[in-house]
Amino acid sequence: MAEKRWIAETLFDDLGFRMSYRVDRVLYETRTEHQHLVLFEHPFFGTMLMLDGATQITKRDEFIYHEMMSHVTLFAHGSARDVLIVGGGDCGIAEEVLKHRTVERLTQVEIDATVIEFAKEHFPEFAATVFADKRFESVIEDGMKYVARTERRFDVIIIDSTDPQGPGKVLFSQKFYAACKRCMSKGGVLVTQNGVPFFQPRELLSSVSKFRRVFADGSCFVAAIPTYIGGHMAMGWATDDRRLRRTSVTTLAARYRKAGSFSTRYWTPEVHAAAFALPRFIADVVARAKP
Ligand code: SAM
């Protein structure tokens, strides 16, 4: 019997380790206009997508990151109507955002049409509902170009990007965060995929420093995602409203009830509030961030 293939995540090669996944079946593998893409079936995690050697999404643990990036941001804001997602081509975050009835319009700006195509075919549980929702708009464009040119104003901007390499690099730049601030409504919130601080402390330090040059409040919240190796995943947080990340559990619970208490598997009002209580080594990174 042929030896099973193993696919390695090469994101941390410079740190001298790799996470490898035994492949049941490769569904698709190609180099798109923007990046190397491999989609495969794994015996435990189910369908997995890797871009440029970094795990993007698995069917088994996607709910954690998608729920936290969406519901922490929207319940903290409290009345977001116009939402922008940059990246997010797998549509996992869009699906969570559209659970909020207050959201009147959701625009997703993804650079790589191939990722959207595969989401429709291999992640229908997200993409089908999302593309059937008339509030949803899909734009294929570099997120940097979009936020630099748009006349729209967003209450919430969610950056569900790849890591700061290849097409994703510009989404960690000062000019990008400044352009996001320009197309935000008063009291708006920006949330970013910001790596795992145990292995990528400089990424978090750099982003929070840049946030603090254009926003009154720059910080992060955390969650543990099994296939984002390294313990806590940091989600960057930037807004001019310093109160939002201290929203009480009582207020969050009331907003959740008003939103119809839709089902979640990770997010709760208590988990939301606790996510901003940073372990000291991460709090130290955030504290070192100077505008
Ligand atoms: N949750 C994943 C993570 O934390 O690594 C990210 C998932 S999502 C698939 C990342 C998406 O960002 C990819 O589909 C990629 O094509 C998109 N992307 C990368 N750079 C981009 C850019 N400059 N503008 C818009 N989308 C971009």
Provide DSSP, 40-82.
EEETTTEEEEEETTEEEEETTTHHHHHHIIIIIHHHHHS---E
Residue type, 69: M
Report the nearest-CA residue for atom 8 of ligand 1: 88
Residues 6+ apart with CB under 8 A from 208: 218, 219, 220, 236, 285, 286, 289
Distance from residue 15's CA to the centre of ligand 1 (Å): 23
Q: State how far the alpha carbon of 9 is from the alpha carbons of 16, 88, 99, 114, in Å.
A: 12, 20, 32, 20
- Residue 256, classed as helix, strand or coil, is helix
The active-site residue out of 82, 155, 160, 163 is 160
CA gap 215, 211 in Å, rounded: 6
* Residue 195, ligand 1, Cβ within 6 A: no
Q: pTM surpassing 0.85?
A: yes
**Residue 281 reports pLDDT greater than 90:** yes
Alpha helices, H only, the chain: 62-67, 73-77, 92-97, 113-122, 124-132, 143-149, 174-182, 201-214, 249-258, 269-275, 280-288
Evaluate if residue 96 carries a pLDDT over 90.
yes
Distance between CA atoms of 96 and 83, rounded to whole angstroms?
12
Cβ atoms of 55 and 9 within 8 Å: the answer is yes
Q: For ligand 1, say whether the CB of 160 is within 6 Å of any of its atoms.
A: yes
For residue range 2-46, list pLDDT tens digits in order.
Answer: 788 999 999 999 999 999 999 999 999 999 999 999 999 999 999
Asked if residue 83 has its Cβ within 6 Å of ligand 1, the reply is no
pLDDT for the residue numbered 4: 87
Establish how many alpha carbons lie within 13 A of residue 253's alpha carbon, considering only the half-sphere containing its beta carbon. 5
Mean pLDDT of 180-205: 98
Quick check: helix, strand or coil at residue 132? helix
How far apart (Å, rounded) are the C-alpha atoms in residues 171 and 191?
12
- Distance in Å, CA 260 to ligand 1 centroid: 30
The whole-angstrom separation of Cα 102 and Cα 114 is 30
Q: What separation in angstroms does the CA of 278 have from each of 94, 233, 265?
A: 26, 11, 22
> Mean pLDDT throughout 224-242?
97
Reply yes or no on whether 163 is catalytic. Answer: no
Residue 273's pLDDT is: 98
> CA dist 200 to 220, 222, 226, 231, 282, Å?
14, 14, 16, 11, 11
Residue 164 CA to ligand 1 centre (angstroms): 10
Query: pLDDT confidence of 196, banded at 50, 70, 90?
Result: very high
